[in-house]
Amino acid sequence: PSLLSSDCLTANIVKSHRETCQYRVEELQALRWKVFSREEVLAYQSKSVEEMWQRCAYRLTDSIQYVVEFAKRIDGFLELSQNDQIVLLKGGSLEVVLVRMCRSFNPDNGTVFFEGKYGGTEVFKSLGCNDLIASIFEFSQSLCALHLSEQEVALFTAVVLLNPERAWLQDKEKVARLHSHVDVAFKNTLQRSHRDTVLSKLSQKTLQLKSLCSLHIDRLRSFLELRPLLAHSLFPPLYHELFTDS
């Protein structure tokens, strides 16, 4: 596309990101001093596995709904078939949330914003998914090290979302065209700010995202295998729809 249309797409994606991010980076950074006390951490650790899963699933579903709104505001997304819009969101919404989450991660003390305060991995101990939690924190830590600007987070999450390799896409070529427009816009933006080196590091991040999300599905499946009936009552319908083979 011409530079003009590429710049228009960049502006549209950055605007969509700003409008659909729940918290601004400034707000999240201003809250870094609010860290869970020893007692609050112990309270989380004495919660049941079910309750902790439910709280995390609700928080994630909340963030995912903002990602759905982000997608709908990206020029071209609503021109895709309903089927393909759902395939892209089913495959990419958690990936986008996990990238966005790095904005709420404090690399100085390894804490993340959760339910109003910052806490370390120990907050999530009762989940019984220490490997997944540890990987999420490592991912956030490594993404923070890239010092992505909001513009870069916006464009990177749009590239992650519009992945033409998602299984079950009907019009793969149409998604591939939209993906390449966003990719060109992202590359132009990075080149202009002499940030080309970030591109190669981000491609590794997409591989880590893929394994994080399949680990999430694995842990969810084994959690539900032990409590087959619980899923419908425990989790928000959208979470159930996105992450189980319901």
Ligand X SMILES: CCS(=O)(=O)c1ccc(CC(=O)Nc2ccc(-c3ccc(CC(C)C)c(C#N)c3)c(C(F)(F)F)c2)cc1
| Binding footprint of ligand X on the chain (CB under 6 A) | 21-23, 56, 59-60, 63, 97, 100-101, 103-104, 112-114, 124, 127, 129, 132, 136, 216, 219
Backbone angles phi, psi at 169, to 5 degrees: -70, 135
Which residue lies nearer to ligand X by CB, 82 or 246? Answer: 246
As measured in angstroms, the least distance from the Cβ of 71 to ligand X is 14
As measured in angstroms, the least distance from the Cβ of 166 to ligand X is 19
3-state secondary structure 51-77: HHHHHHHHHHHHHHHHHHHHHHCCCCH
DSSP state of 24: -
Q: In angstroms, rounded to a whole number, what is the distance separating the alpha carbons of residues 111 and 37? A: 13
As measured in angstroms, the least distance from the Cβ of 232 to ligand X is 17
As measured in angstroms, the least distance from the Cβ of 147 to ligand X is 16
As measured in angstroms, the least distance from the Cβ of 213 to ligand X is 8
Which residue lies nearer to ligand X by CB, 136 or 224? Answer: 136
Handedness of CA 20, 26, 28, 34 (dihedral sign): negative
Scan for tokens 């078939």, then name that residue.
81
| Torsion of the alpha carbons at 62, 58, 204 and 118, rounded to the nearest 10 | 90
**Residues β-bridged to residue 117:** 114
Which residue lies nearer to ligand X by CB, 1 or 120? Answer: 120
Contact call for residues 140 and 101 (beta carbons, < 8 A) = yes
Which residue lies nearer to ligand X by CB, 22 or 180? Answer: 22
Q: Which long-range contacts (CB under 8 A, 24 or more apart) does 202-208 make?
A: 202/146, 202/156, 205/99, 205/139, 205/142, 205/143, 206/95, 206/160, 208/135, 208/139, 208/142
Which residue lies nearer to ligand X by CB, 104 or 189? Answer: 104
Which residue lies nearer to ligand X by CB, 10 or 106? Answer: 106
As measured in angstroms, the least distance from the Cβ of 19 to ligand X is 12
